[in-house]
Structure formats: structure tokens, C-alpha cells
């Protein structure tokens, strides 16, 4: 296989989707694909067999869902944006079933058009409760630009509006059901005044439902109890959980150099092809590698860009790497294709599917035109 190449495993993806369907059926909620994490539309027909629809972070994702998701998912094409331009709002209005605003000033700007459409509209709230370690992935951090706080929420105006019929919160990142419980308690404490007025509540993403240690029973109980108490339609919109551990990035060792240890230069790049390695940061797993040990062959794996810090991490192997060795990174379906770049003119990895019968099918190859056409 020509590398680099993302390979998404159909059997592993299907297993995640089946589990999410079970959660939706057992709890009575609806589960949406958050396209910001996984937008491989070649799989949208499969996704539509198990999930209720999609959620988008802007116009183009909403258009993608409208074009490639099965027709029966059109009633659950949701969108949230930190701010819509006039052109964006006019475009998403006919496409989306649920449109969420980040502020009341945005609602003021678009409410006349919204009220005439008959669609579902909501406001994103900020419960100001951080359940993660902070940093750039915490929407509840001090000074956050995402969601309306209790202090700034226009309760009277919301209650009088016939068009506003839901609220949305998204505070989690790769977390378990206990974090949702803490967050939901805060949302209930601060915003329950409007629960009798709304018809739906979107609990956002960040629910790592398909992770081995995730407490599914707790999640189901939380949702069922909340639905029973307030008689609301509940939505979850996981992104990572849909394709968690279902994808791989296959690459090749181009060179091996020595500088205070061995460095393997790959045809894949952290900066270009797996940016969360540098942004989060984290160290992705590599098949047949081990934590560093004096008895093994240890290498720093780096990309071929000019960025000095384009390192993926340090890995040890039972046998020495050579030029031409294949390296396979795990859990590369999420936040990879949707974030990759052509920085330095580095080529984008091909995209392939490993079908349930084991066959590998190349879906897309990239080249010079994909680099050139972004620039002028």
C-alpha cells in the first residue's frame, strides 16, 4: 500500500454504532453524529442505519450531512455556531431542523427570519462547571466564548418566545457518565426555570460511550430519570465515540538519523496529519510498540516537515526499524482527516476502508492539485 494512508475499519466502526444504538434505545434519547470529529461521508449510509442524525458546527458540515446522510435523517440535522454570518444563517435555515445560537444578540439579529421558518431553535448555555483538567478544550473555563451563563441568560424573553424551544450544553471532552451527572446537576440548578417551556435538551458531546471503561448503565439511568422528570426529548451528539479506535494511519520510515538517540523520519506528520498530537497533546499508540525500555530498540518518530517540533513521540520496538518499515498508528479516525493540512506542501494521506470481509478499498487519493487549489 502506498503511504501515508488512513484506514477505517468497517467492522470496528459498526460495533461502535451498534453500541450507540443500544444506548439510544435503552435510554429513550436520540444520538447524533458530531461531524467535527468524523466526517467520512463514505460511511454516512452506514451511520444512518444506527444513529438518528447529525450535528454540525457550521454551514459546510450541515451541507455535507444534507447531501450524504440517508433521507430519514433529515429531520435531525442540527447546527450550532459561535456566530452565524447573514449568508450562513440564510443557507442553514432551509437545511437544518434544529439551529442553536450562542448568544441572545445572535438571536436578536435572526429571530424574525427564525420565527417565520417553523424550525426548532435553541440557546447554548454555559453551566460554569468544569469537570476536566482545563485548557483549550474546556468550554466552562473562565472567560469562555461558548454558551450563555446564568447571569446573562434572558429568562423572561426566552419564556415569551414561541420559536425558542430548546437549550444545548456541551462541556465534556473524552469523559465518563459521572462528569455528565455533575454537569447536568449544575444545568438543572441554574436553568430549570425554563424546563417546563422547552421541548428538547441537547447534552452535547464528549461522552466517551464506546470506551471500554465507560459506565453505560449510569448514562442510561441519568437520561431516563431526567426524561421522566421533565418530559423532554434528549439528544447526545458524540463525535469521538462514533469512530473511537476504528481507524489507523499507516506510514513508512523514510530515514533514520542519530542525534542523542535514534530518530525515524516518517512520511506522515504530526503537524499535518494528526494535529491533536501537538494540540492536546497526547501520544498515540503504535501497533507492536512498547513503552521505552533499555532492552528494546527506541526511536523518536518525527514527520518530514520543517517544523522542528514535528515529533509524534518516543516508541520502542522488539526489532530495529529500517528504512521502509511500516508504522501503524491507532485511533486515527477521529480529529485527523477533519483537521489535516497541506503545510509545507506535504501530501494528504489517502483514505481507505477495510471492509468487514478484510478487503481494503481505497476511497480517495490526494495530490498536488489538492495543495495548489487552496492557495490561489
Strands of the chain (E only): list them: 5-9, 30-34, 53-56, 77-80, 98-101, 120-124, 164-168, 200-202, 233-236, 247-258, 262-266, 297-302, 311-317, 326-330, 350-354, 360-364
Q: For position 132, what pLDDT does the model report?
A: 82
Are the CB atoms for 84 and 92 separated by under 8 Å? yes
Q: For position 360, what pLDDT does the model report?
A: 96
Strand partners of residue 290? 316
> Which of these, 247, 237, 181, 169, lies nearest to 209 by C-alpha position?
237
Per-residue pLDDT band at 84 (split at 50, 70, 90) = very high
Are the CB atoms for 167 and 193 separated by under 8 Å? no
> Which of these, 282, 272, 221, 216, lies nearest to 249 by C-alpha position?
272
281: preceding bond cis by omega (within 30 degrees): yes
Residue 295 — left, alpha, or beta (φ > 0 → left; ψ -120 to 50 → alpha)? alpha
pLDDT for residue 167 is more than 90: yes
Say how far apart CA 168 and CA 294 lie, in whole Å: 51
Tens of pLDDT, residue by residue over 13-64, are 999 999 999 999 999 999 999 999 999 999 999 999 999 999 999 999 999 9
> Which of these, 177, 283, 185, lies nearest to 229 by C-alpha position?
185
Give me the mean pLDDT over the 363-367 stretch.
97
Are the CB atoms for 247 and 38 separated by under 8 Å? no
Say how far apart CA 266 and CA 244 lie, in whole Å: 24
Give me the mean pLDDT over the 269-294 stretch.
90
- Domains of the chain listed by start with CATH number: 10-243 (3.20.20.10), 247-332+340-372 (2.40.37.10)
Residue 167, SS3? strand
Residue 251, SS3? strand
Residue 363 phi/psi, 5-degree rounding, is: -95, -35
Give me the mean pLDDT over the 317-332 stretch.
97
Amino acid at each position: 500500500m502506498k503511504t501515508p494512508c488512513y484506514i477505517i475499519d468497517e467492522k470496528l466502526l459498526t460495533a461502535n454504532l451498534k453500541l450507540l444504538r443500544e444506548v439510544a434505545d435503552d435510554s429513550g434519547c436520540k444520538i447524533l453524529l458530531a461531524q467535527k470529529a468524523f466526517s467520512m461521508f463514505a460511511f454516512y449510509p452506514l451511520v444512518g442505519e444506527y444513529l438518528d442524525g447529525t450535528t454540525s458546527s457550521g454551514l459546510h458540515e450541515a451541507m455535507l450531512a444534507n447531501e450524504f446522510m440517508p433521507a430519514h435523517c433529515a429531520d435531525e440535522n442540527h447546527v450550532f455556531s459561535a456566530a452565524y454570518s447573514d449568508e450562513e444563517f440564510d443557507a442553514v435555515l432551509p437545511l437544518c431542523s434544529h439551529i442553536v445560537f450562542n448568544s441572545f444578540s445572535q438571536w436578536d439579529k435572526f429571530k424574525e427570519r427564525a420565527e417565520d421558518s417553523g424550525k426548532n431553535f435553541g440557546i447554548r448555555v454555559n453551566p460554569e462547571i468544569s469537570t476536566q483538567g482545563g485548557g483549550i478544550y474546556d468550554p466552562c473555563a473562565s472567560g469562555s466564548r461558548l454558551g450563555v451563563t446564568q447571569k446573562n441568560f434572558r429568562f423572561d424573553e426566552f419564556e415569551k418566545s414561541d420559536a425558542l424551544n430548546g437549550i444545548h450544553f456541551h462541556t465534556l471532552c473524552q469523559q465518563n457518565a459521572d462528569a455528565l451527572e455533575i454537569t447536568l446537576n449544575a444545568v438543572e440548578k441554574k436553568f430549570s426555570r425554563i424546563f417546563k417551556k422547552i421541548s428538547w435538551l441537547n447534552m452535547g458531546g464528549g461522552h466517551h460511550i464506546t470506551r471500554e471503561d465507560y459506565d453505560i448503565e449510569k448514562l442510561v439511568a441519568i437520561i431516563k430519570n431526567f426524561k421522566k422528570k421533565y418530559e423532554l426529548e434528549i439528544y447526545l451528539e458524540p463525535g469521538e465515540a462514533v469512530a473511537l479506535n476504528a481507524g489507523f494511519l499507516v506510514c513508512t520510515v523514510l530515514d533514520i538519523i542519530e542525534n542523542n538517540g535514534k530518530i525515524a523520519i516518517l512520511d506522515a506528520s504530526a503537524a499535518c496529519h494528526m494535529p491533536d498530537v501537538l494540540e492536546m497533546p497526547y501520544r498515540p499508540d503504535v501497533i507492536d510498540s512498547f513503552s521505552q525500555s533499555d532492552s528494546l530498540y527506541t526511536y523518536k518518530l518525527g514527520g518530514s516537515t520543517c517544523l522542528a517540533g514535528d515529533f509524534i513521540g518516543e516508541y520502542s520496538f522488539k526489532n530495529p526499524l529500517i528504512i521502509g518499515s511500516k508504522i501503524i498508528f491507532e485511533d486515527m479516525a477521529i480529529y485527523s482527516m477533519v483537521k489535516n493540512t497541506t503545510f509545507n506542501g506535504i501530501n494528504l494521506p489517502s483514505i481507505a476502508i477495510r471492509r468487514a470481509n478484510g478487503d481494503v478499498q481505497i476511497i480517495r487519493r490526494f495530490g498536488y492539485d489538492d495543495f495548489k487549489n487552496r492557495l490561489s
